[in-house]
């Protein structure tokens, strides 16, 4: 082949290669845009299951996703719930569960808007190590945030939060059916875990089809924290932990459910947020509307634990570049120390310790 012919051939191949690259990028960009549009309109996108086993980068160990939740506090069982008559729930991302002992209370954790349980493995591991049974539960949290959905309309908050809780009070803002509600998902999760881990004590939390709320600490982040506050208000639970939440107030208005007496005393509510939380203008008035002790003068700390019993904590931990103060208080994107541990771990453990939990590592018996 003549030299000029080789040059022409190489040029043609280069153009074809670049065309292929641009086509691939365009297809991916179009798909991403379509996904964002679906989420913006409240639609769900099913997630492809991750191949087993899952590698835990933090601990350098493999987690067998099919194994029952046992005594290893760093092991989660990942599972997905089925709908009625084989229908698929929407959304239906991995639920997470673990335990360290058989007699701990249940920590039910609800993620933030568009987040999923696997975004909170550090906090869930801390809860398991503290003696809790843990369920990180997926639920309908797609579309817009609760505060953007309802704005200054008090009854909107109550209707939306009730609908997501038990599938009633459907409205144009939220149309979750009973099968996809938090209550039904929780019942199904407990039934699955009780079958997968018969010695684990999971069946205690649902008896005769009734959720035993008095044995459950409800926790959540952002929208999930707002839902946790709502559940604690309408049910007598063991406790409520709210992270970057609740955000159910705007201006002089707040969720109408706050105008009625709650079933759980506010002495069992605890909140953690960042001093620079982007949603602070909604969160702080909500603390006051809940009548949380210390709502007007929170305990402020970087990561130290209080010696008294404040119910509202604000952290000053530096926000990593590119992250939001609202997200780092409990998600896996939280700042870490030189050893790789979450900086806020002592605060999490302090909050988790506000309620009665069994000793995970009891002191050995002696002959004395």
Backbone angles phi, psi at 334, to 5 degrees: -65, 150
8 A C-beta contact, residue 294 and residue 312:
yes
For 295-343, the pLDDT digits (tens) are 999 999 999 999 999 999 999 999 999 999 999 999 999 999 999 999 9
Pick from 10-14, 98-102, 164-168, 248-252: least confident? 10-14
Which residues does 302 contact at the CB level (< 8 Å), separation at least 6? Answer: 315, 316, 317, 343
Mean pLDDT (the chain) is 82
Assess whether pLDDT exceeds 50 at residue 122. yes
Assess whether pLDDT exceeds 60 at residue 359. yes
Q: For position 39, what pLDDT does the model report?
A: 34
Q: For position 87, what pLDDT does the model report?
A: 65
Q: For position 83, what pLDDT does the model report?
A: 67
Assess whether pLDDT exceeds 80 at residue 194. yes
Most confident of 17-21, 41-45, 91-95, 234-238: 234-238
Q: For position 251, what pLDDT does the model report?
A: 84
CA dihedral 16, 22, 27, 30 (to 10 degrees): -150
Report strand pairing: 106-110 vs 133-136.
parallel
Question: Which is more confident, 363 or 126?
Answer: 126
Pick from 39-43, 242-246, 311-315: least confident? 39-43
Assess whether pLDDT exceeds 80 at residue 280. yes
Q: Identify the band that residue 170 occupies on the pLDDT scale cut at 50, 70 and 90.
A: confident
What is the spatial distance between Cα 4 and Cα 107, in angstroms, rounded to a whole number? Answer: 72
Most confident of 6-15, 32-41, 83-92, 250-259: 250-259
Q: Per residue, what are the HEC states of 32-51?
A: HHHHHHHHHCCCCCCCCCCC
Average pLDDT over residues 37-60: 32
Q: For position 305, what pLDDT does the model report?
A: 97
Assess whether pLDDT exceeds 80 at residue 364. no
Q: For position 85, what pLDDT does the model report?
A: 57
Q: For position 320, what pLDDT does the model report?
A: 93
Assess whether pLDDT exceeds 60 at residue 117. yes
- Break the chain into its structural domains and give their ranges: 64-352
Q: For position 201, what pLDDT does the model report?
A: 96
Assess whether pLDDT exceeds 50 at residue 7. no
Q: Per residue, what are the HEC states of 117-152?
A: HHHHHHHHHHHHHCCCEEEECCCCCCCCCHHHHHCC
Q: For position 84, what pLDDT does the model report?
A: 59
Q: For position 275, what pLDDT does the model report?
A: 98
Q: Identify the band that residue 363 occupies on the pLDDT scale cut at 50, 70 and 90.
A: low
Q: For position 338, what pLDDT does the model report?
A: 96
Q: For position 169, what pLDDT does the model report?
A: 81
Most confident of 55-64, 346-355, 357-366: 346-355
Domain formed by 64-352, architecture: 3-Layer(aba) Sandwich (3.40)
Assess whether pLDDT exceeds 50 at residue 143. yes
What is the spatial distance between Cα 167 and Cα 181, in angstroms, rounded to a whole number? Answer: 5
Instruction: Supply 143's token pair.
Output: 């579309």
Q: For position 33, what pLDDT does the model report?
A: 36
What is the spatial distance between Cα 144 and Cα 160, in angstroms, rounded to a whole number? Answer: 12
8 A C-beta contact, residue 244 and residue 359:
no
pTM listed for this prediction: 0.79
Q: Identify the band that residue 82 occupies on the pLDDT scale cut at 50, 70 and 90.
A: confident
């Amino acid at each position: 082949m003549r030299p000029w012919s080789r040059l022409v051939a190489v040029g043609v191949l280069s153009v074809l290669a670049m065309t292929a690259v641009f086509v691939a990028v365009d297809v991916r960009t179009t798909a991403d845009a379509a996904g964002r549009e679906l989420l913006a309109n409240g639609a769900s996108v099913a997630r492809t299951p991750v191949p087993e086993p899952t590698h835990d980068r933090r601990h350098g160990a493999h987690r067998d996703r099919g194994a029952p939740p046992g005594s290893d506090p760093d092991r989660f069982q990942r599972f997905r719930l089925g709908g009625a008559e084989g229908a698929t729930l929407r959304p239906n991302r991995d639920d997470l569960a673990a335990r360290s002992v058989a007699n701990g209370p249940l920590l039910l954790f609800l993620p933030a808007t568009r987040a999923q349980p696997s975004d909170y493995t550090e906090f869930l591991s801390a809860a398991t190590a503290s003696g809790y049974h843990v369920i990180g539960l997926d639920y309908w949290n797609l579309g817009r945030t609760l505060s953007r959905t309802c704005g200054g309309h008090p009854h909107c908050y109550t209707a939306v939060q009730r609908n997501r809780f038990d599938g009633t009070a459907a409205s144009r803002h939220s149309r979750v059916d009973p099968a996809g509600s938090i209550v039904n998902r929780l019942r199904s999760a407990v039934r699955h875990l009780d079958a997968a881990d018969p010695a684990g004590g999971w069946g205690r939390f649902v008896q005769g089809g009734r959720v035993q709320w008095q044995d459950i600490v409800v926790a959540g982040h952002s929208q999930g924290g707002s839902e946790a506050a709502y559940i604690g208000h309408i049910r007598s639970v063991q406790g409520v932990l709210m992270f970057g939440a609740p955000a159910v107030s705007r201006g002089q208005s707040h969720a109408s459910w706050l105008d009625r007496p709650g079933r759980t005393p506010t002495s069992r509510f605890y909140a953690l947020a960042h001093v620079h939380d982007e949603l602070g203008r909604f969160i702080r008035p909500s603390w006051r509307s809940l009548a949380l002790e210390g709502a007007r003068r929170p305990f402020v700390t970087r990561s130290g634990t209080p010696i008294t019993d404040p119910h509202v904590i604000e952290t000053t931990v530096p926000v990593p570049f590119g992250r939001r103060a609202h997200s780092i208080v409990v998600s896996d994107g939280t700042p870490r120390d030189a050893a790789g541990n979450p900086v806020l771990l002592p605060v999490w453990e302090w909050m988790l310790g506000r309620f009665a939990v069994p000793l995970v590592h009891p002191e050995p018996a002696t002959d004395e």
